[in-house]
Every structure is written in C-alpha cells, then in structure tokens.
Amino acid sequence: MDENNSSPCLTFLQHEAAYRSRVFKRKHKKKRLSARDLLNACVKLVDDYDCEALPDIAPDDHAKIVMPTLNVTDTDDQIFSTQVLYGCCRYRKLLQVLTTRLFSCKSPSIQCVDQTLYTVLGYLVLIRLEELTFENFRKFVLSQHPKKLLPFMQFVFSQEDLSKACKPEWIKIYDTEYVDSLIGRVSAWRLEADDLSRRLEEKVSVIKQQEKHSMAFKAFNLSTSQKKPTIIDENKVPLPPPLFKAKPPPVWKEGLTPTQKALEAVCKESREKLAKFYSSPKNQPFHLHILERPSKFSALKEQIEAVRKMETEYIPPRARPCPDPPRDPVKLTTSAMLREHSLYQKQLDEVRERLKAFEVDLRDDSAYKCWQEGMRSRDKILESVHRRFAKAAVDACDQAAADARNAKAEENREVVKKVKEESQKLEALKDEFLVNLELFNRLRRENVLEGQIAVKKNAKIAEKSAFVQKMRQLAHVRRLARKDENNLPHIPGSEPTEETEGLPP
C-alpha cells in the first residue's frame, strides 16, 4: 500500500509506537553526573582503593566493583573515573611529593581530610590538564568550597613553589627533562589560573564578610496590654439540662434466676433419658465373638516385623583400600638433573663456607645453627600452644558468660513464677474477702430488716394492749358510776325528761 494512501489507523499506530520508543529511551537513559558528583565519586574511589582494596586486585577491577555503589552509570563517567584511579596509582610517588609539600607550605589554611581531593586534582593538573581543558577543570574547582581549593591553586600553578619545594624530590624519582617539561606545561596555564584564583578569593572574602556580625539597632519588642476577661454572670447563663442516666438493673441475689433453673431442669431431664436409654440391654454396643477367641495375632505380628526389619536393615558398603603409590624411579630428565645439581651445589657451598669460617675465624657455627633451629622450633611450638590456650580461654569465657546469662534468666523465671503464685494467692484471698464481706452485709441487712419487723410488731402489740387497758378502765368507771346512781336518794325533778331521755348514762 502506498504511504500517502495509508489508513488513519495505521498512521496512528506508527505515531504511538514512535512516542512510546521516545518515552522508553528517556526513562532508561543513563544520567550523567555533575562536576561535583563526578569529583566526589573519583575521590571516594581512590580513597576506597587505598584503604580497603586487596593487594592483588587491579585498579580497573576495583573500579568495576565499586562504581555501581557510587551510582556511576554513564559510560563516559565510568571511563573517566577508572582512568583517574589508574593515574593516581601509577603516579603515586609524584602526587605524594606534591601533597606533602603542599601541606608543609600551606598547613594553616588546609586540612588533612582533603588529602585525597588534592591528590585527584593534582593528577588532573599535572598529567591530564591539556586533555581535560581548563574549562572543564574550572567546573571541578568551582564545585568545591573556595576555602579548600584557593591554597591548592596558588601552590600548584606557581612555578617558584614547584621549583623550590617539589623539584628536588621529583628529580630523585624522574629525569630532569621530564620534571622541567611537567613544570613548564603547568605554568603555561598561569593566566587562566590567576583568573580562577581571583574568583575564589572574591568568594572567600564574601564568605568572611557574611561571617562577621555587625551591630544593628532594633526596636524594643514591647508587648501590648492584654484585654481584661469579661465577667459572665452565672445566674444569667442557662445551665444545660442534666443528662438522663438510666439506673442499672437490680442484682439477683437469691440464687439462680428462673431461666437458669428451667435450663438446669431440662438438662437434668435429658441426661436421665440418655442414661435410661443406654442402661437397657437392647441398646448395648455390638461385640464380635471372634475378638474374644484366643489367637496368635501378636506373635505373628512380631515375627513378620522382625523379618521386615532384617530385610530393610542398612549395611554400609566397605570401601576398598587405597592402592599403593607407584614406585617408578625418577627419570633423569634435564630439569631433574639441573635440580639435583643445584641442590648438591648448595650443600657444597654451605660446607665450603663452614670450612672457610673455621679456617679464618677459628670457629665452627654448626652447633650454634643447630641450637638456633631448635630454639626456633621451640618458639613456634610455644607460640602455637599460647594461641591454643588463648583460644580455649576465650571459648571458656564465652561459655561462662552464656551459662551466667542462662542462670540469670532461669532465676528471673523463678522469681516471676513466685510473684505470679503470690499474686494468685492474694487474688484468691481478695475474692474470699469480698465473698465474706458480701455475706456479712447480707446478714446485717437481714438482721436490720428483722429488727424493723419486730419493732413494728411490738408497737402494734403495745398499741393494742394500751387500747384494751383503756377500754377496761372506761368500763370500770362506768360500772362505778352506775352503782353510785343506784345508791343516791330520789331527788324531785330528777326524772328523765323527753330531752334527757335519749342521752347515754
């Protein structure tokens, strides 16, 4: 199909695939480090190689191992870091002289912590500055603190300081022509270095001015007067209505509740039904008469198990003895003859030296050498014994500490157990005391109720007896009054009239 006449769906799919590929490349693109991070990575790489690297590992192999931990993922950054590590290892003596003289000349203004930083920058200035270009070197310098690198820039790019301080030591290691060319190449960048040093001096002066605390006049921080709190009259403010609080249900103190009593009665009835059902002979479990007959099942079982155990018993294989080593004679090859000749020549030289010493110095040191070898072997044995004793002592101390720890833990467990038992006893005593207190309060309440009932009963009896006594006295008074009326003489006008006839006597 022609591209111009392609369908819109196909065009959309092509654009979407291109967009996804760009997004994938953008996400998985290896990020390059900044000048500050790259210089710090190089410093850490060199410092780690000097402190923790094995003696038989190459700088390139060490860089491949350590760079992933420093987040150096870009290929160019990895190559640069590897080359810096290799150069610092190759020109170690050259850079060591440079850092030593730098610390001796600029000791008041630099610190020993930055020795690895000065080593890396010294390698870049002395060996790689033309290849690196001064613009990239300026980025490395400006990424660090100006107080650190100002003395370094003043010392490294000064031809007089290098000639007086470093050249006498460099001549002992390298040729004079190479040292002169090295100093000449560095001095060629004098103008750019002076410009960069001036810039660092300005930064240092600004930092010093910022560090100085000048006196400034500030107004007094006078606090404003606080408003007096308004007094609220409690009589005018309506109080919120009291919350409704329901009373708890009364505690049932007369044994089991009616529901519990009904449940117990139902359970008791069901248990009695089950016991009656299984007590009848019709509902007994089924017994097999074959199990009650005598049999030899246990003996046959033991016999079969013994046979199977013998069949499955593991018999370890016996190893064959080692064959005897071959006793072929040593072939007199060229290497064997040269080896035997050198050994024989060494023995002849030792005998010749012993005879020469005996003839010239009139002494024979064979006994001394034998004694020396014996003492050395004795020292080795004593050292091994001492090492074993120290190891055994350390193991014994560890075991004693472990035993003491276990004993202390066991003692703590016993103490905890005793405390738990005592707390349980106290809880039991507390529960018993509460039960007794409840019983005592109940008895006291019952006694009070009985006393109140008795008082009420006695009061009623007393009222009734008083009323009966009063009625008896009244009846006695009436009887006496009647007797007096009968004994009195008849008085005229004392006959009862119609008005007094209905009155009681």
Q: For the chain, which residues make up each domain, given as ranges?
A: 35-210
Residue 485 near residue 505 (C-beta atoms within 8 A): yes
7 by Cβ neighbours in 10 Å (0-12 / 13-18 / 19+) ranks as exposed
Per residue in 53-81, pLDDT (tens digit) is 666 778 888 888 888 888 888 888 889 99
Residues written for the chain:
505
pTM of the model: 0.40
Per residue in 242-285, pLDDT (tens digit) is 777 778 777 777 778 888 889 999 999 999 999 998 888 888 77
115-126 and 176-187 helices cross at what angle (nearest 10)? 90
Instruction: Please state, in angstroms and rounded to a whole number, the distance separating the CA atoms of residues 121 and 140.
Output: 9
Task: Give me 239's structure tokens.
Answer: 């109080």
Q: What is the DSSP letter of 112?
A: G
Instruction: Please state, in angstroms and rounded to a whole number, the distance separating the CA atoms of residues 490 and 137.
Output: 166
Residue 101 near residue 126 (C-beta atoms within 8 A): no
Residue 84 near residue 45 (C-beta atoms within 8 A): yes
Could you tell me which of 152, 143, 150, 101 has the C-alpha nearest to residue 122?
152
Long-range contacts of 202-206 (CB under 8 A, 24+ apart): 203/146, 204/146, 204/147, 204/150
Taking phi over 0 as left and psi of -120 to 50 as alpha, with beta for the rest, 497 belongs to: beta
Instruction: Please state, in angstroms and rounded to a whole number, the distance separating the CA atoms of residues 271 and 265.
Output: 10
Residue 158 near residue 122 (C-beta atoms within 8 A): no
Q: Residue 325: what are its φ and ψ, rounded to 5°?
A: -65, 150
For residue 438, the Cα-to-chain-centroid distance in whole angstroms is: 52
For the domain made up of 35-210, give the CATH fold.
Answer: N-utilizing Substance Protein B Homolog; Chain A (1.10.940)
Instruction: Please state, in angstroms and rounded to a whole number, the distance separating the CA atoms of residues 72 and 32.
Output: 8
Looking at residue 214, its pLDDT comes to: 58
DSSP string, 232-284: PPTTTSPPPPPPP-PPPPPP--SSS-HHHHHHHHHHHHHHHHHHHHHHSGGGS
Tokens 């004593």 belong to: 382
Looking at residue 6, its pLDDT comes to: 46
Task: Give me 36's structure tokens.
Answer: 């500050």
Looking at residue 18, its pLDDT comes to: 67
Positions of the chain with pLDDT lower than 70, given as ranges: 1-15, 17-18, 20-30, 52-55, 207-217, 224-226, 229-230, 232-240, 362-364, 487-505
Looking at residue 492, its pLDDT comes to: 45
Tokens 């600029």 belong to: 106
Instruction: Please state, in angstroms and rounded to a whole number, the distance separating the CA atoms of residues 501 and 498.
Output: 5
Looking at residue 10, its pLDDT comes to: 57
